[in-house]
Amino acid sequence: MQQHTEGHRPHPRRLVLATRNAYKITELRSILGEVGLDAELVGADAYPEVPDVKETGVTFAENALLKAHALAQATGHPAIADDSGLCVDVLGGAPGIFSARWSGRHGDDRANLELLLAQISDVPDEHRGAHFACAAALVLPDGTERVVSGRLTGTLRHEPVGGGGFGYDPILQPYGETRTCAELDPEEKNAISHRGKAFRAIAPIVRELLG
pLDDT of residue 12: 53
Query: Does 84 belong to an annotated binding site?
Result: yes
> 2 lies in a domain?
no
> Is 146 annotated for ligand binding?
no
What is the pLDDT tens value at each position of the chain, 211 positions in all? Answer: 444 444 444 445 789 999 888 878 888 888 888 777 777 889 999 998 888 888 899 999 999 999 999 999 999 999 999 999 999 999 999 999 999 999 998 888 999 999 999 999 999 999 999 999 999 999 999 999 999 999 999 999 999 999 988 899 999 999 999 999 999 998 899 899 999 999 999 999 998 988 7
Nearest alpha-carbon partner for 74 in 84, 66, 63, 82: 66
Q: Is residue 1 part of a domain?
A: no
Compute the Cα dihedral for 208, 135, 143, 53 and give only its sign: negative
Domain that holds residue 186: 14-210
- The strand pair at 14-17 and 40-43 is best described as parallel
- How wide is the angle at C-alpha 47 spanned by C-alphas 41 and 51, nearest 5°? 125
Instruction: Tell me the pairing of strands 145-156 and 172-174.
Output: antiparallel
Q: Which of the 8 DSSP states describes residue 65?
A: H
Q: Distance between CA atoms of 197 and 211, rounded to whole angstroms?
A: 22
The reply to whether 100 falls in a domain is yes
pLDDT of residue 9: 45
Which residues are catalytic, by number? Answer: 83
Query: Does 195 carry a binding-site annotation?
Result: yes
Q: What is the pLDDT of residue 112?
A: 96
Q: Say whether 47 counts as a known binding-site residue.
A: no
Per-residue model confidence as pLDDT tens digits over 43-66: 999 998 888 888 899 999 999 999
Residues 6+ apart with CB under 8 A from 44: 16, 17, 18, 19, 20, 50, 52, 71
* 21 known member of a binding site: yes
Structural domain contains residue 82? yes
pTM: 0.88
CA distances (Å), origin 82, targets 59, 90, 122, 125, 154: 11, 25, 33, 30, 21
Q: Hey, which bits of 46-194 come out as E strands?
A: 79-88, 129-139, 145-156, 172-174
Q: Is 19 annotated in some ligand binding site?
A: yes
The candidate with the shortest Cα–Cα distance to 202, out of 112, 68, 99, 97, is 68
- For the chain, the domain total comes to 1
User: Which residue type does 54 have?
Assistant: K
| 71 occurs within a structural domain | yes
Residue 178 domain flag: yes
Question: For the chain, how big is the Rg over CA atoms in Å?
Answer: 18
Alpha helices in the chain (DSSP H): 22-34, 60-75, 109-119, 186-192, 194-210
Provide the CATH number for the domain around residue 50.
3.90.950.10
The answer as to whether 4 is a domain residue is no
| Domain-embedded: residue 7 | no
Q: Which amino acid is present at 82? A: D
Query: 189: annotated binding-site residue?
Result: yes
Q: Compute the distance between CA of residue 70 and CA of residue 157 in angstroms, rounded to an integer.
A: 38
